[in-house]
Structure 1
Amino acid sequence: MTWHFPIYTPIFILNVLLCIWLSIMVWRRGAVPGVRVFAVMLIAAGFWSFTRLLEASVDQFWAKIFWGKIEYLGTVAIGPTWFMFTRYYRYQTKRIYPRYMLLLSIVPIITVLAAWTNEAHHLIWTDIVPSVANPEILIYGHGTWFWIAVAYNYTLLLGGIWNLRQALNTLPKNRHSQAKALLLGAMIPIAGNFLYIFALSPVKGMDLAPFFLTITGIIFFLTVFRFQLFDIRRVARAVIIDNMRDGMLVLDEKYVVVDANPSAIQLLGVSKALIEQDIRLTLAKYPAILAVITNTQSQPITLAVGDNQSLYLDIQVSELNDTLGNAAGKLVVLRDVTERHRAEKVAFETAIEQHRLQLLSQFIRDISHEFRTPLSVINTSLYLMEKSDDPLKQKSRRDAIQLQAKRLDYLISEMLTTVQLDADSPLERTVINLNSLLQTMTQEQMSIFTAKQQQLMLHTTEKPLQIFGDGFMLQKALNNILQNASRYTPASGSITVTAAAQDDFANITISDSGVGMSVETQTRIFERFFRADDAHSTPGFGLGLPIAQTIIEKHQGWIDVESTPAKGTTFIIHLPQTAAEVISLPTLELATT
Structure 2
Amino acid sequence: MLVLSASVAIGAAATILVWRARPEPGATPLVGLLVGQCWWSACILFQLRAPTQQGILLWTDLSWIGVMTIPASWFLFSLDYTGRDQYIRPRYIALLFVVPVLTVLFALTSDYHRLLYVVSLSSNETGVVMVEEAGAWYWVAAGYTYLLGIGGMVPLLGLLTSESSTFRGQSATLFVGLLVPWATNFLYLAGLLPSLGIDPTPVAFSISGVAYLGALTHFGLLGTVPTPNGRARQLLFDRMQEGAIVVDVHDNVVDVNDSCVSILGIERRDLLGACASTVVPEYERLPDDGSLSGPLTITTENDSRPYDVTVTAISNGRGTPIGRVIRFHDIREHLRQQQRLTVLHRILRHNIRTETNIIHGYIDQFADDKNAQIVKKRTLRIDEIGEKGRDAIELFDEVRGGESPVPLATLLEQCVTTARNTHPAATIQLDVPDETVVVDSVLEPVLSNLVENALEHNPSENPHVWVAVDAGDDVCIEVADDGPGIEEYELNVLDDGIETPLKHGSGLGLWIVKWGVDIADGDIRFAANDPTGLVATVVVPRCDDAKRL
- TM-score relative to the length of structure 1: 0.44
- TM-score relative to the length of structure 2: 0.48
Which structure has the larger Rg? 1
